[in-house]
Structure 1
Amino acid sequence: MGTKRRRGGDGGIEENTMAILDTNCFSKSTQHIADDSAYHLCVRLNLITHIGLISFLRALRFVYCVLFVGLSFLEAVRSVFLVPENASAPTNKMYKAIFQILRVEKSLDLIMSSYQLLLELDKVYIVCLLNYFVIKLYVTAINYLKFLVMQAWSPFTFGTDVTPSEKQDHDKISGSMDVTEFHLLLEGLSKVPDEANTDILNLEPLRNMLLFQYLVYLLKGDFVPRNLAFTESSDWITLRESLLNMILVSRKISYKGLVKDCLSMMCELSQFSRDCSHDMRPAESGSTEITEKCYTAVALALPEVVKRTCAAVQKLLLMIIELDSSKKAADLEGWTTRADGTRTPAIEIILDEVSYDKNILFPFFQALDKPKLKLDLIVQYLKKYIPKTSVRTRRSSGSTNDESFGGVLNCFSNGNSTKSIIKKISSEVTQLLLAHAFQQAYIMLPSQHSTESKEDTAENPLTSICNDMISAFTCLKKADKDTEILPFGKEALFTAAIMLSRNS
């Protein structure tokens, strides 16, 4: 693997490539010297006398240099580390330089080029290691995982990773991101609809969404093999040292606030994505051809970027939930320590939020497209409002049927139970949850159910769910005669009836 030579590779490659950035355009002292020289020359030749025009030309020259040098650096990295077949991997210093371009630059070319280059580099030098980890024997894979963790680069800084001198200019030159900055980035993404102004070309929302997508991509690449190692060998220490866990246990951020911000961002971006067909053309006055092309590019890219950002948020939430599950298993086995701390599971935070804030209930479940997670959340949400039976037989007390969607549907076969549920939550919310849960349950059923014989129809889980779904809506109507079946409820009932007719 090329990554094996990252630390021991040719230092001249890094020095020569990084030298591209050490030019007049990226050095403040030499920039000032160049500007002063240009200024005195213009004054001597009486070519420029207006101070505003001088400032404008200085800024224009600087922007041009930054764009030219930045693109040249990215192209050099691509040519050296991606084109050759046996090229060595870039060093951490070079990764940070590319990451910093993505993080701070305001040129559409630099933003897209740096983002694409980071993904391509990770695909060549990191993903191949993950594939190796998955397909090799377990003992060999664990040793290789330790090598992967040692070799992989990270844009995050924790604790004393940032020296006091670096901390002063951290935002500008470090090429790394603090935990607090990651949380601030997450908070800011919920404001994307407001920042996407139709009159002003603002690339910051686009850049921040791409930056967030890449960070989640890195977090997943680090978390997945560690969680797999925990599942296979109960290696909690390796999972505890994952980037995701180090972010969540950091005292610099609010863990609950981070989860709530994920929910808020999902709702805001999903709504904005559906309304993203609004006009983003530039104002007629003073718009150049370059500006118009840039607006066109942003307008075409924005809907897809917003959609992928929503998917990235869901990946982050899913990883947090999986980490909670693994941590709970480690707690039960006594592998955790007081240093691991305690925190409220993400699922409980989500359920509390959608329970107490009805304004995000509909948008959240509409935006969430992870079938298993969506079904689990709905089942647990409805269980909170299902009345508990006062008497349980020995046989029923050990049953876990009520933990499934089928068990929840059975609770709607009783008129009193149904009345109690819709009294606590409205009929509209109940219909919404049942319709969404039915959709996810159908998606998760084995595809073989459509080919089963008629003799197996009685035991077909699809048939059982469809019958229970129709029965549940019938009880809803009986419990409140004024209840109107909403459009999404009618669609769910129509689908259930069609599925029953096909299996009859």
Structure 2
Amino acid sequence: MEGKRRKETKGIEENTLAILDTSGFGRKEISVAQHVQNLNDDRLAFLEAVRTASLVPENGTAPTSKMYQAIFQILREESSLDSIMSSYQLLKELDTRFPRVYISEKTENESASASTSPFEIVVVEDAWSPFIFGVDCPFTEKDASREKPPGSLDPSGFHLLIKDLSEMDNEGSTEESQTKLLRTMLTFQYLVYVLEGDFLPRNRAYKEKMNWSLLRESFLSMILGSRRLPCKALIKDCISVMRMCHVRCGTADDLLLSENSSKDKLESCRSAATIALPEIEKCLCTAMQKLLLMIMELDTLKETADMQGLTTRADGPRTPVPEIILDELSYNRDMLSPFLQAFHEPRWKLEIVMQYIRKYVAKPSVRTRRSNGSANDATFPDILKSFGNGSSTKSILKKISAEVAQLLLAHAFQAYLSLSLRDPSDGLHDFEENLGDCSLAEVCKSMIAAFSSLKKTNEHITILPFGKEALFTAATILSTQ
């Protein structure tokens, strides 16, 4: 039976890939001007054939590695918007239908007959992956047997993709450059989708079984552990992408919504790629945040595993992501506001902002029993009280501008509200050292007092719109208490 299924799968592979044989991927001698429509039709026909064979039937079989590779190569190399979008969507649907790693829930009888966890993790060892690992040296002609499949990415290639995105402001406004940008964005979003699909079930299984090898063997861990990948540079490029996405999305909205936009400007936005870009850029920002959050989660789990003696020297040290972000935001203040507006996850957002503020807030003269020790123990309510003191506020404003202080306080307050309204069972205890034990009403009063102190210290200060929103929220909460 198994042999029959393999034979059927081989037949499907031959039939579907035969659609591409008339044009091929690398036949440069063919005139693109003459055959571009035929090439695109071949790609779309191939994609539809794979969908029909694998997704339409209830008992459809997963595509072979060659078929997967061809779809991924279409996503990475095609210039037709139809082919790019279709290949991206098909890859995501195939990954949902045929996951590489997944959790298999046990039946009640299986759970009752064993003392193990109520599920098991399944890793499909021979599943195709867009990543290639295990080679830390550049390929040469002598390594033909080890040559990576067309379009596949090693860790340095993944970083290069992010670096290309971080430089997207330098791209022109031609339809060709916009299509290239869109293709790069969708490729990255798909890769994050793959990383997430691999990491999340492993993370769940690790927390249940405490088997560190589950996470060590994840795609994300292998990418970060590569000797060819400078992790700090990777994180900095991720920050740049988030900032640029935020700026570009705002620019696109202004262009489309402004009453003063000329008809010529609006006409220039009518190409399919340009219309699609703003929404895809928003999705790109979300995908970039997911990547950063997964790295933070992995580093947190690694730190815990290290304290429990589960790691080895092979795991290697790595600078925590919040520390890298903090250094980058401190060095380049222009990135601060766009990054904080683009980064929405409240737990890590509060952690990053708190670490930033602690660098400039002096140790309070009056310490509570909880906060005795270094200034790094200060909670968000402690920080607000420090800003509420006139002399302390003057000292802080000598180190950071009033605008930066407002941004930090407003974003920290936003994150604090999100966390304080969450269910404690949602893992809030991991970050409660930043929340303190004050009531919400006390925090709102301290927030208003902190901005009043900023205003008294600098009479010429202009309260930023985001700061006004934070003050309005604090006042509204107090009025309802």
Amino acid paired to 2:219? L
- State the 1:313 CA deviation: 0.7
Paired residues of 1:324 and 1:345 also in contact (CA < 8 A): yes
SS of the residue aligned with 1:19? helix
Map residues 4-403 of structure 1 onto 2, 5 A cutoff.
10-26=9-25, 28=27, 58-126=31-99, 130=102, 132=104, 139=116, 143=120, 145=121, 147-160=122-135, 174-198=150-174, 202-277=178-253, 278=255, 296-389=271-364, 396-397=371-372, 402-403=377-378
Letter in 2 for 1:305: I
* Cα shift readout 1:458-500 (whole Å, capped 9, x = no counterpart): x983212211111222232334444443333222222211211
Residues in 2 aligned to 1:215 and 1:195: alpha-carbon distance in whole angstroms = 22
Q: Tell whether the 8 Å contact from 1:379 to 1:405 is kept in structure 2 after alignment.
A: yes
**CA–CA distance in 2 between the matches of 1:294 and 1:148?**
45
- SS of equivalent residue, structure 1 residue 187: helix
> Cα offset for 1:86?
0.9
Deviation at 1:205, TM superposition (A): 0.2
Does residue 415 of structure 2 align to residue 416 of structure 1?
no
Equivalent residues, number: 452
Q: 2 CA distance for matches of 1:270 and 1:168?
A: 43
Given that 1:108 and 1:294 are in contact with CA atoms closer than 8 Å, whether structure 2 keeps it comes out as: no
The Cα shift of 1:402 comes to 4.7
**Does the C-alpha gap of structure 1 residues 398 and 191 become closer, same or farther in structure 2, counting only changes over 3 Å?**
closer
TM-fit CA distance, 1:16: 2.1
Q: Which amino acid aligns with 1:212?
A: F
The structure-2 alpha-carbon separation of the partners of 1:468 and 1:347, relative to structure 1 and needing over 3 Å to count, comes to same
Deviation of 1:140 (Å): 6.2
State the distance in 2 between where 1:21 and 1:105 align. 13
Change (3 A) 1:428 1:13: same
Query: Bigger shift: 379-388 or 307-316?
Result: 379-388
The more displaced of 294-303 and 162-171 is: 162-171
Alpha-carbon offset, residue 327 of structure 1: 1.0
3-state secondary structure, aligned to 2:333: coil
Assess if the C-alpha contact under 8 Å between 1:170 and 1:176 holds in 2.
no
Q: Does 1:490 align with 2:468?
A: yes
Deviation at 1:201, TM superposition (A): 6.0
SS at match of 2:129: coil
Secondary structure of 1:209's match?
helix
SS of match in other structure, 2:20: coil
Identity of aligned residues (%): 51
Over the residues paired in the alignment, what is the CA RMSD in angstroms?
3.6
CA deviations on 1:190-218 (whole Å, 9 max, x unpaired) are 23233251576641000000000000010
Alignment partner of 2:388: what SS? Answer: coil
Q: How does 1:421-460 map to 2 (within 5 A)?
A: 421-446=396-421
Moved more, 394-403 or 242-251: 394-403
Query: Within 2, Cα distance between the matches of 1:160 and 1:262?
Result: 24
TM-score (norm 1): 0.80
**Residue equivalent to 2:456:** 478
- Contact 2:212/2:305 (8 A) holds in 1: yes
> 3-state SS of the aligned residue for 1:228?
helix
Instruction: Specify whether residues 263 and 483 from structure 1 end up closer, same or farther in structure 2 by C-alpha distance, changes over 3 A only.
Output: same
Amino acid at match of 1:464: E
Contact kept? 1:183, 1:253, Cα under 8 Å:
yes
Letter of the 1:499 counterpart: I
1:467 aligns with 2:445: yes
How far apart are 1:130 and its partner, in Å? 3.7
Deviating more after overlay: 427-436 vs 414-423 = 414-423
Unmatched tracts of structure 2, length 5 or more: 257-263, 424-436
| Aligned-partner Cα distance in 2 for 1:243–1:341 | 16
Q: Distance in 2 between matches of 1:107 and 1:385?
A: 52
More deviation, 222-231/320-329: 222-231
How far the C-alpha of 1:376 sits from its partner, in A, is: 1.6
Deviation at 1:160, TM superposition (A): 3.9
Distance 1:423 1:170 in 2: 58
Q: Is contact 2:390–2:453 with CA below 8 Å preserved after alignment?
A: yes
The one-letter code of the counterpart of 1:158 is: F
Contact 2:358–2:375, Cα closer than 8 Å, also in 1: no
Once the two structures are TM-superposed, the CA of residue 302 in structure 1 deviates from its matched residue by 0.8
Q: Following the alignment from structure 1 to structure 2, what is the Cα–Cα distance between the partners of residues 316 and 235?
A: 23
Distance 1:472 1:169, change over 3 A: farther
Distance 2:15 2:379 in 1: 61
**AA at the equivalent of 1:477:** K
What is the CA–CA distance in structure 1 between the aligned matches of 2:318 and 2:164, rounded to whole Å?
24
User: Which digits, 9 at most, give the CA deviation of each residue in 1:283-315, with x for residues without a partner?
Assistant: x9xxxxxxx999532122111001000111111
- Asked if the contact 1:9–1:88 (Cα under 8 Å) also holds between the matched residues in 2, the reply is no
| Pair member with larger Rg | 1
Q: Which has the higher helix share?
A: 1
Amino acid at match of 1:495: T
